[in-house]
Amino acid sequence: MSDSLAELRAKINAFVHERDWEQFHSPKNLAMAMIVEAAELVEHFQWDTLEDSYQLTPEKREQVSHELADTFVYLLRIAEVLKIDLLHAANAKILLSAKKYPVDKARGSNAKYTKYQEK
């Protein structure tokens, strides 16, 4: 089992290459496929109450994990095709979000960042 992001990316790239699927993996196609998988994830929670959404039967947990994995794989493929370092991008985005949502103003609030901007 892959225990690092680099190993997982290599495994996914090999899987795609062995099947000659690079030709189908444009950023547009991968983004659309990722959204389809994300929608399939949402279906598992669509009519659940907030409380019920935390309670997964073993069967539902497996199904949800498959949809999460599908979404994650497409995300990794898009990043690969566009040569985007996701770890770098995520770390940079966290820094940007920290500026938009300062702890002293955003703690315990779900308000949009525009509420915290100086006027």
Domains of the chain as residue ranges with CATH? 5-84 (1.10.287.1080)
Does the pLDDT of residue 119 top 90, yes or no? Answer: no
Percent of the chain exceeding pLDDT 90 equals 84
What does the pLDDT read at residue 9? 96
- Give the pLDDT confidence score for residue 92 in this predicted structure: 98
Residues 8 and 2: beta-carbon distance below 8 Å: yes
Rounded average pLDDT over 12-29: 98
Output the DSSP codes for 13-32: HHHHHHTT-GGG--HHHHHH
Strand intervals (E) in the chain: none
**Is pLDDT above 90 for 24?**
yes
Q: Report the distance separating Cα 37 and Cα 15, nearest Å.
A: 19
Q: What is the mean pLDDT of residues 32-54?
A: 97
The model's pTM = 0.87
Tell me the pLDDT band of 112, cut-offs 50, 70 and 90.
confident
Q: Would the pLDDT of 3 be above 90?
A: no
For 84-100, the pLDDT digits (tens) are 999 999 999 999 999 99
